[in-house]
Amino acid sequence: MNCCRYLFKFIPAGLVLAVASSFTSAFEIDGSKWFGAATEIYVDMEGISGTGILWNAAFISAMNEWMSETDFTFNLIEEHRDPCQNDGLNGVNFVADFCGAEFGNNTLAVTILHHQSTLLGEPDIIEADIIINQAEDFDVFDGNLVQFGPTFEKIEFRRTMLHELGHVIGLDHEADASAIMAPNIGDLDRLQADDIAGVNALYSGLDNCQIQQLRFGTISAALDNADCTVAELTVGGTDNSFIDLYRFELSATTELEFTMSSPTLESVLLLATDQLDFLDVDTTIDADCNSTLSATLQAGSYLLLANTYDEQIGPDCQLSGAYQLNAVYLSDSPGLLGSSGSLLGGMSAAQFQGGITADNGLSYGNKFKPEDSLDISTSITVDPNHVGEAGFLVAAAIIDGVVLLLNEQGNFVDSWVAPDPIIRAVSKTLQATETFAILTDLVPASFGIDTIVVDFVVGYGLDNAPGEVYFHQSPLNLIVAP
Ligand SMILES: [Zn+2]
């Protein structure tokens, strides 16, 4: 987990890992890849092949084939950059030697990769340069490599570049000859299923793991062999530690504090963007097994990752087991409350926001003192199809698994002893935006409450379907503690 350690390696090199797939042949990847599945490439080679195709055109055609067959993106910049320069820019050109050293026997071209370590998984690729041995006799043609006529004994350039671009993307050599990524050039002139599957697998890590919506407040979970591993998430490497992923969305700049605590699990917390660009990590190994991570994040979509180590560090903290995750936030505006759900499975485009403030809207958060005077308010953007309909609003408070519903007198009552239909907080004609104050000027201490955790959920329904309620997936959490 060392930050900013630069590695330098030639392809093919390094650890080779076969990743299971539905294909019988197995592409080879070690897990190093480009962040965001895209890179820029500088292309401005002089000259033209014997068959009359510009080297540039053949190269760009090979780039475009990778782009049309996979989700990887090459952004073409039609300028020259010296591929032997370690300048952070991806260049390609014919060269007389291996950037000062000798080319190996029969070497047609080499891709030089530069890496940068990342918090999890194999190092990212940050530069890839292709050098082409100008002593070789290249031409551009389709079909079998050995031909007669004008291309007799020529080396085919386009498929050579197709192969090198595979290295640029992050593929290693595939021993099976039925791939462009086979170590030796052959009769194949287009990408094969194995090449395409390799790229798709290399860049699909987030699809390998289940991602849960983060709930602010406290949740109980566990890391064990039912979970994703870092190697599965990052597609490569040997880090088989378990990892849980929690997604959350912020609508404004927000201060966050996460605590992962366990008496027995060596806890490691990480923060990343929803594209898995790692932002922060807490790897503290203290007397206990806990991990705490604080951050101030801009509006956006993020992942909190609850992880451990791949090898046991201390005698008392294990690599699997139960943990509690505590999430506290403070923002200057109300937050998003997750995607829309419903009691009976109906779909809606409703959106929900909410916040709890003790300073009349200067700040919103989920952790307060018993003496604070709390305003708990929500805002529902009603599905356009429901606007103008006769309907109702519902508010629930969930305390230790018990669901209380707000009635029209403004009291929370136990829903399980209440008769059908659902208890309504308000009956009304639904407007496009419903501003719904659940509680105002609530001072927990005045009710003798010193410590409590409550999850609030609001929703709405229509009179013509009174059993259906549209609500948000992420509760509005309140923690009161001295
Ligand atoms: Zn190669």
pLDDT digits (tens, 9 = 90+) for 233-277: 999 888 899 999 999 999 899 999 999 999 999 999 999 999 999
d(CA 303, ligand 1 centre) in Å:
35
d(CA 276, ligand 1 centre) in Å:
28
> Does residue 14 carry a pLDDT above 50?
no
CATH class of 335-480: mainly beta
pLDDT tens per residue, range 179-201: 999 888 889 999 999 999 999 99
d(CA 186, ligand 1 centre) in Å:
12
Plot region of 111 (φ>0 → left; ψ -120 to 50 → alpha; else → beta):
beta
Contacts of 175 (CB under 8 A, 6+ apart): 28, 182, 183
* The pLDDT of residue 314: 79
d(CA 46, ligand 1 centre) in Å:
23
d(CA 290, ligand 1 centre) in Å:
45
d(CA 155, ligand 1 centre) in Å:
15
> Does residue 175 carry a pLDDT above 90?
no
d(CA 12, ligand 1 centre) in Å:
6
CATH class of 207-331: mainly beta
d(CA 330, ligand 1 centre) in Å:
51
d(CA 291, ligand 1 centre) in Å:
43
d(CA 78, ligand 1 centre) in Å:
24
> Does residue 166 carry a pLDDT above 50?
yes
d(CA 1, ligand 1 centre) in Å:
29
Q: Are 470 and 393 in contact (CB under 8 A)?
A: no
Strand 228-229 and strand 291-297: pairing? unpaired
pLDDT tens per residue, range 356-408: 999 999 999 999 999 999 999 999 999 999 999 999 999 999 999 899 999 99
d(CA 175, ligand 1 centre) in Å:
11
- Rounded Cα distance, 92 and 85, in Å: 11
**Which band of pLDDT confidence, cut at 50, 70 and 90, is reported for residue 416?**
low
Least confident span in 181-185, 224-228, 285-289, 390-394: 285-289
d(CA 286, ligand 1 centre) in Å:
46
pLDDT tens per residue, range 84-96: 999 999 999 999 9
d(CA 222, ligand 1 centre) in Å:
42
Q: Are 113 and 9 in contact (CB under 8 A)?
A: yes
* The pLDDT of residue 26: 61
For the chain, the first-to-last Cα distance in angstroms comes to: 37
> Does residue 22 carry a pLDDT above 70?
no
d(CA 147, ligand 1 centre) in Å:
23
d(CA 481, ligand 1 centre) in Å:
61
> Does residue 53 carry a pLDDT above 60?
yes
Q: Looking at domain 6-203, what is its CATH homologous superfamily?
A: Collagenase (Catalytic Domain) (3.40.390.10)
Structure tokens at 172: 């290693």
d(CA 234, ligand 1 centre) in Å:
23
d(CA 167, ligand 1 centre) in Å:
7
d(CA 180, ligand 1 centre) in Å:
9
pLDDT greater at residue 410 or residue 458: 458
Q: Are 413 and 453 in contact (CB under 8 A)?
A: no
Locate the domains of the chain by residue range. Answer: 6-203, 207-331, 335-480
Model confidence, pTM: 0.82
CA distances in angstroms from 252 to 327, 329, 399, 458, listed in the order given: 17, 11, 28, 21
d(CA 278, ligand 1 centre) in Å:
30
Average pLDDT of the chain, as a whole number? 89
Give helix 157-169 / helix 55-69 axis angle, nearest 10°: 50
d(CA 173, ligand 1 centre) in Å:
6
